Amino acid sequence: MFVDQVKIHVQAGKGGDGIVSFRHEKYVAYGGPFGGDGGNGGNVIFEADPGMTTLLDLRYHRKIKATPGEKGKNKKMHGANGEDKIVKVPLGTIVKRADTGQIIADLTEPHQQTIICKGGRGGRGNFHFRSSRNTAPKYAELGTLGEEFDCIVELRVLADVGLVGFPSVGKSTLLDAVSRAKPEIGDYPFTTISPNVGVVQVKDGRSFIMADLPGLIEGASTGKGLGHQFLRHIERCRVIVHVLDMGGQDGRDPLEDYEIINDELRSYQIRLLERPQIVVANKMDLDDAQKNLERFKEKYPDLEVYPTTTIIHEGLDPVLRRAADLLAVTPAFPIVTEGTSNEGVTYTFEEKKSDLQVTKLGDHLWEISGPRIERVFNIQKLNTEEDYFEFANKMRYLGIDTALREAGCMDGDTVQMLGYQFDFIEN
């Protein structure tokens, strides 16, 4: 089964907690703090595997989780880091965040690795909090949580040349004739329901990868037929071979077909038409083929057309040579997804928002919020006197006390932070 798009949930490992410990050894007076740091959480890493061709494995393993780091140990020993979770995917895989659509990874090289989800940082042991004023700290940090989100994994076939055209125009027959790929061939529409890839060898020694993509129909870019889910594979191709049924079987007009397919490529993504295109007039053995070819050349006099009869391997060498020539001078096209193009974008510059916001909710009621607050404070770890002491130090270090005074907070007012309430008391 060919699977080229999967939505999965990834979760990196939590960092291990630091510990509170003291040195107790004979003949060592005033041993002091001896607690070690927690280990870092494991990362979720995607690796490109040349031996894979589909995302079928991810279809049955939609939740991927790395292991957490171990807690710190006595004698300042560091807890073990969590083991990374390595997920193998085919070459040409793209990973995007489901919430923003941002591309996180584009895996095009064999065994290329990218960290998709970063593990949490391990907490520091009490050894790090010793000072001249506090020689025996009873405080240690908790490990931070690892990243966690949904992502969309897409496979976009890595091929130099892509075959496009209406169903049953001879794309699969062409690929079968010029490579060792064995695509399904039939005299009915949509014989090809998934991309087929083969290595093509030109007689002069050059070679390239060709992909037979499922047939397009009018409206494919809006979701009709099979083309909508496979149009993305053309983005990897540097050269497009447009195959036309010049014989006009089933009452089709090759001139109309040519315009419709190009309109679909244009509607899906403007950069698809920037790729050089080779027009192949197939099925020249049919009765009306020559007449239709003359009509086509009359309408498009500047367009080079290659007459072929793929079923008997006739006229294919010029097409392959032309494709190899174009590949030699055509660079790779960057992957562009919806919403990532910079064309027509107007940039506005705004003042950077503060990491700390003080909001007055009512009489003698205030709220402190901001991304740094959520990142630095762990309200749940307020169990000992040391915890409160460290909490107060952080409040002063971040300037929260000063910000509250400047906003008008008075002695005895109530302050909310991260779902908890505190009394503001002036010393």
Q: Are 128 and 137 in contact (CB under 8 A)?
A: no
- Alpha carbons 249 and 257: distance in angstroms, whole number: 12
221 is in an annotated binding site: no
Q: 3-class DSSP state for residue 313?
A: coil
For the chain, percent helix, then strand, then coil, each to nearest 5? 25, 25, 50
240 is in an annotated binding site: no
Count helices and strands (H / E) in the chain: 9, 18
171 is in an annotated binding site: yes
168 is in an annotated binding site: yes
The residue to which tokens 């025996």 are assigned: 136
224 is in an annotated binding site: no
284 is in an annotated binding site: yes
212 is in an annotated binding site: yes
157 is in an annotated binding site: no
203 is in an annotated binding site: no
399 is in an annotated binding site: no
260 is in an annotated binding site: no
166 is in an annotated binding site: yes
- Alpha carbons 157 and 108: distance in angstroms, whole number: 10
283 is in an annotated binding site: yes
230 is in an annotated binding site: no
Beta strand ranges found along 186-343 (DSSP E) = 196-201, 207-212, 239-245, 277-282, 305-307
Query: Residues near 97 by Cβ (< 8 Å), separated by ≥ 6?
Result: 104, 149, 150, 151, 152
> β-strands 420-423, 85-90: how paired?
unpaired
- Alpha carbons 404 and 422: distance in angstroms, whole number: 13
Q: 3-class DSSP state for residue 281?
A: strand
193 is in an annotated binding site: yes
Q: 3-class DSSP state for residue 101?
A: coil
167 is in an annotated binding site: yes
213 is in an annotated binding site: yes
H helices of 220-287, in order, are 227-230, 254-268
90 is in an annotated binding site: no
371 is in an annotated binding site: no
293 is in an annotated binding site: no
169 is in an annotated binding site: yes
Residues annotated within the binding site are: 165-172, 190-194, 212-215, 282-285, 309-311
Residues annotated within the binding site for GTP are: 165-172, 190-194, 212-215, 282-285, 309-311
Residues annotated within the binding site for Mg(2+) are: 172, 192
